[in-house]
């Protein structure tokens, strides 16, 4: 009986020894991509083979953590998370027999990821062509810039800024019809984009297309109700017809929005002069010269003041 009892105790000790030998020790370091430690990073450990196993540890002030798993013969999923950083996951197989597995992970910050994404986007066909086109424009090479803008919209038709620049080039070349087409393409992507509305309106005026003028002008007014050029341009139409009476309130309206609108000041001063309103003509032209002494009409205003 005494021998049997000793054997029974020995047999009970064997599994304990084996289990201790199967323990896995893991030590880790979590840093950013500049090797600076990340304090308070959370590491969640699970095991696909042990469904009820879950452990959470956090990094200390040195960005380090340590843990022990009872069964080091299995693989464990480590999920590393930290505020402001992109998380990582990794399968880890601990070492057994009293050895410690040392692991380290470098996390990218969200700001770093955003910067990388922006750089990558800038190299996409279309975006890259548009960037190169503006570089060429800054160098004064409009012909090559146009080629790059055309390549940009061919690759990415939604690049409305490229449509705008192509339309401006068309208008400069005297092709108002093509400019209207580009303005419409731009507005089809960016509804009520002011620059494209202005492009279409200027092209329509150059073409003398009344329907197009009305279409672009109405849209421009809705999108830019406080733009003084709207009232001023309406006034110009009456000025060209010699109708000072109808032009006058429109010029005054433009100046209510922007009292330093030089073109409106000059034209209103001339209207006052033609209507025999000498005092107002003098005041308005003097203000015009104060606001815009280098304006192309400044010599005319200076000469007119001699007679007022």
Identify the pLDDT of residue 21: 54
Identify the pLDDT of residue 37: 97
Q: One digit per residue, pLDDT tens: the chain, 308 residues?
A: 444 444 444 444 444 444 455 899 999 999 999 999 999 999 999 999 999 999 999 999 999 999 999 999 999 999 999 999 999 999 999 998 889 999 999 999 999 999 888 888 778 999 999 999 999 999 999 999 999 999 999 999 999 999 999 999 999 999 999 999 999 999 999 988 999 999 999 999 999 999 999 999 999 989 888 889 889 988 998 999 999 999 999 999 999 999 999 999 999 999 999 999 999 999 999 999 999 999 999 999 999 898 88
Identify the pLDDT of residue 12: 47
Distance CA 136, CA 133 (A): 5
Query: How many other C-beta atoms can be found within 10 angstroms of the C-beta atom of residue 180?
Result: 25
- For residue 82, what are its two tokens? 């930290």
Identify the pLDDT of residue 7: 43
In 3-state terms, what secondary structure has residue 243?
Answer: coil
Answer for the pair 59, 41: CB distance below 8 angstroms, yes or no: yes
Identify the pLDDT of residue 18: 45
For helices 262-274 and 278-291, give the axis angle rounded to 10 degrees: 160
For helices 142-155 and 160-172, give the axis angle rounded to 10 degrees: 140
Q: Are strands 64-69 and 50-58 parallel, antiparallel or unpaired?
A: unpaired
Distance CA 114, CA 207 (A): 45
pTM: 0.57
Instruction: Match 């548009």 to its residue by tokens.
Output: 130
Provide Rg for the chain, Cα atoms: 38
Identify the pLDDT of residue 13: 47
């Amino acid at each position: 009986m005494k021998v049997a009892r000793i054997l029974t105790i020995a047999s009970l000790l064997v599994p304990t020894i084996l289990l201790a030998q199967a323990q896995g020790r893991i030590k880790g370091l979590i840093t950013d991509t500049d090797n600076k430690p990340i304090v308070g990073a959370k590491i969640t450990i699970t095991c696909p083979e042990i469904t009820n196993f879950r452990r959470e540890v956090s990094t200390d002030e040195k960005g380090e953590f340590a843990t022990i798993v009872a069964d080091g013969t299995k693989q464990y999923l480590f999920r590393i998370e930290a505020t402001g950083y992109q998380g990582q996951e990794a399968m880890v197989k601990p070492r057994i027999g009293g050895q410690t597995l040392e692991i380290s992970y470098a996390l990218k910050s969200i700001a770093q990821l955003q910067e990388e994404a922006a750089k990558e986007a800038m190299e996409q066909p279309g975006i890259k062509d548009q960037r190169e086109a503006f570089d060429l424009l800054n160098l004064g090479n409009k012909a090559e810039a146009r080629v790059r803008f055309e390549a940009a919209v061919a690759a990415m038709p939604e690049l409305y800024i490229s449509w705008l620049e192509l339309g401006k080039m068309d208008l400069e070349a005297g092709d108002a019809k093509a400019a209207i087409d580009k303005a419409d393409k731009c507005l089809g992507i960016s509804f009520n984009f002011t620059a494209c509305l202005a492009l279409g309106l200027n092209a329509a005026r150059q073409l003398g297309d009344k329907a197009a003028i009305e279409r672009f002008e109405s849209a421009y007014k809705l999108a830019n109700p406080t733009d003084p050029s709207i009232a001023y341009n309406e006034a110009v139409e009456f000025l060209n017809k010699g109708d000072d009476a109808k032009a006058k309130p429109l010029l005054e309206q433009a100046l209510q929005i922007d009292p330093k609108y030089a073109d409106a000041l000059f034209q209103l001063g001339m209207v006052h002069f033609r209507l025999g309103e000498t005092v107002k003509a003098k005041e308005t032209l003097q203000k015009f010269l104060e606001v815009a002494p280098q304006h192309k009409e400044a010599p005319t205003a200076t000469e007119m003041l001699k007679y007022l």
